[in-house]
Chain A
Amino acid sequence: MATTAVPAPTRAPRQRPPGSRLKLRNSLIGWTFILPNFIGFAVLTLVPVLILFYLAFTSWNVFGAAEWVGLENFEKLLGDRTFHTALRNTGYYALMHIPLTLAVSLGLAMLLNTKLRGVAFFRTVAFFPYITSIVAIAVVWNMLFSPESGPVNQILMALGIDNPPGWTTSTTWAMPAVALVSTWRDMGYYMLLFLAGLQAIPGELYEAARVDGANKLQRFWNVTIPSLRPTTFFVTVMLTIASFKIFDLILVMTDGGPGTSTLVLSQYIYRKGFEEQQFGYASAVAIVLFAICITVTVVQFLVNKRRNA
């Protein structure tokens, strides 16, 4: 930690009188904390992202000049049926994936936040899907979901369901199948985040609740959930964004098919940009995706802030 050599101010304020000098000082100190990360972030991420915002208003196709076209790309989006399909599919996926993953990963975290023997093993197992090669994931799950020879449908038929779904080969069931697999894949990741959050809850809060006669469920609702709010906020925001950006799993599992039943926004961006060379148009789609994510995030941010206040 060599950077702590930054000259530390000799006097710390005893109280916080409102004053512009203090505010300025605080701002400066605040910025010194942020700066090492911000420089890299601004140059390498923020600038390209801002360029993208500019490109959305151009007809850029990578090689030619970026000609300003105003809102043309966005107007075209309004009438683009495939874009609407992708938007709908993405929303549908997010709607299934977000609550399911939240519940499963929080459940796992609660379950594996004990001093159970072998807990290290089970935690590693829960995390394994996240580190397993995505090609293997797609292959095995596709196989498990195989309409005729797949184990999933064989079990369903054994349970008396005569007409089990076609899963990834059916336009109706492909998206739920992808959402299920992706929950299975992500649960260990979000479990880890929840596990870290659970560590921050002071033990005596539970003790106090127990003394007050609260049962397990009450302790969960009244201690765990409120104390976990910063983590839950983080997980929800990340999960929402990740859900709307879903790309690689779709690509390897269904590639958008059958038909356009699992075509999602990120894939549409890739198609329009890298395959069809309409980078300006692809940028406009990216901005729509961004706008959705940021709206959801700001809403969550405000809700979270009000609850904290």
Chain B
Amino acid sequence: MATLTLDRPQATTPRPERDARNRRSLVGKVVLYAVLIAAAAVIMLPFFWMVTSSLKSNNQVFTVPIQWFPDPVVWSNYVDIWSKSDMTTWLKNTLILSVTVTFLQVFTGSFAAYGFSKMRFRGRDVLFLAYIGTIAVPWQAYMIPQFILMSRFGLSNTLWAIIALQAFGAFGVFLMKQYYDSIPEELSEAARIDGLSEYSIWRRIVLPLSGPAVATLTLLTFVNTWNDYLGPLIYLRDRDLWTIQIGLKTFVSQYNAEYALIMTGSVLSVLPIAIIFMLGQRYFVQGIATAGLKG
């Protein structure tokens, strides 16, 4: 392992033009921040509307012209949603699903990706194409055969259905494989010479180097499972099994739709993900991957 070091120099050597650069970069920074903040405001507009709508009554949500600020402010939606719905159950189910699916997807995905990326064997590329191929088939098209199959296994109307559905997707394999591909082959070759088995190479070298990819996969799988609507819709019928997205839809009935409550629920359901993202994004600081090699 010690044969290779990829870490970059930590300190840059002082240069003569440094002062001028600093001044220029200060102006640049101010402009950059101004642009970023303006862009952030535009990007957050729909979310802002979600929040204000959650503070309105149903008939005020859609109006001409658009009403950006609620008048009067209806706080009761945030109280009602807990009494009018099983928000606690939905949150619990969604959390169970998201955590389990994410764990399985990250684990099996990164494990399989090693086989696709670092091992050479017959049929590998064809198999890999089959993985990608299934991504290219729209789910609506094979939803019914899959549903029948799952029902035969006795999985429909259980949380297992969603876990089975989401945990073994091709997405994780593909993502991890692409990342592994960018890890220099010399690293694993050197480890092989040191007598490490392929499993140890995966666990002790490749996986630790894949922090950002694992973080990405974790975040995206978590978010996708959290926000998945069609899967739970088809597979989960019992009220005790519902996820947030399904639950929120029950505020739409044929004759009336509780838009304000839907938006309240949406705001509440976005918050956990936003927090997880805030915490998770720190894995994307340049240098962390190579810094991991230093020890």
Contacts and interface: CB of A to CB of B under 8 A. Distances in A.
Interface of A: 1, 3-4, 6, 8-9, 11-14, 23, 26-27, 29-41, 43-49, 51-52, 55, 62, 111, 113-116, 118, 120-133, 135-137, 139-141, 143-144, 149, 184, 189, 192-193, 195-204, 206-207, 227, 229-231, 233-234, 237-238, 241, 244-245, 247, 265-266, 269-270, 273-274, 279, 282-283, 285-286, 289-290, 293-294, 297-298, 301
B150 interface: yes
B289 interface: yes
Most A CB contacts (10 A, CB to CB) among B64, B193, B289 go to B289
Interface stretch (B74-82, B83-91, B92-100, B280-288): B280-288
B223 interface: yes
A27 B213 CA distance: 26
Interface string B227-239: 1000000000000
Given A132-B270, A197-B182, A27 B121 contact: yes
Nearest to B217: A196
A37 B173 contact: yes
Most A CB contacts (10 A, CB to CB) among B53, B112, B137, B288 go to B137
Interface in B32-48: 32-33, 36, 40, 43-47
Contacts of A118: 33
B123 to A, nearest CB: 8
Given A38-B112, A40-B168, A200 B183 contact: yes
A41 B45 contact: no
A33 B114 contact: yes
Contacts of B50: 132-133, 136
A38 B111 CA distance: 11
Given A52-B142, A128-B274, 15 more contacts: A6-B199, A31-B121, A33-B198, A37-B111, A44-B165, A48-B145, A132-B270, A136-B266, A193-B216, A201-B182, A241-B135, A247-B140, A266-B138, A273-B141, A290-B137
Contacts of A128: 43-44, 47, 270, 274
A113 B284 CA distance: 7
15 contacts: A12-B196, A30-B119, A44-B168, A52-B145, A120-B278, A122-B36, A131-B274, A139-B46, A192-B220, A200-B179, A201-B182, A230-B178, A244-B136, A266-B140, A297-B133
B145 A55 contact: yes
Contact of B119 (A33, A37, A40, A125): A33
A274 to B, nearest CB: 7
A270 B49 CA distance: 30
A114 B28 CA distance: 14
Interface of B: 6-9, 32-33, 36, 40, 43-47, 49-50, 53, 62, 64-66, 107-109, 111-112, 114-116, 119-122, 124, 127, 129-138, 140-142, 144-146, 149-150, 164-165, 167-175, 178-179, 181-183, 192-193, 195-200, 202-203, 211-213, 215-216, 219-220, 223, 227, 248, 262-263, 266, 269-270, 273-274, 277-278, 281-282, 284-290
Which 8 residue pairs spanning A and B have beta carbons closest together? Answer: A203-B8, A40-B168, A33-B115, A293-B136, A286-B141, A30-B119, A27-B121, A37-B108
A36 to B, nearest CB: 5
A133 B199 contact: no
Given A131-B223, A270-B140, A286-B142, A122 B40 contact: yes
A207 B136 contact: no
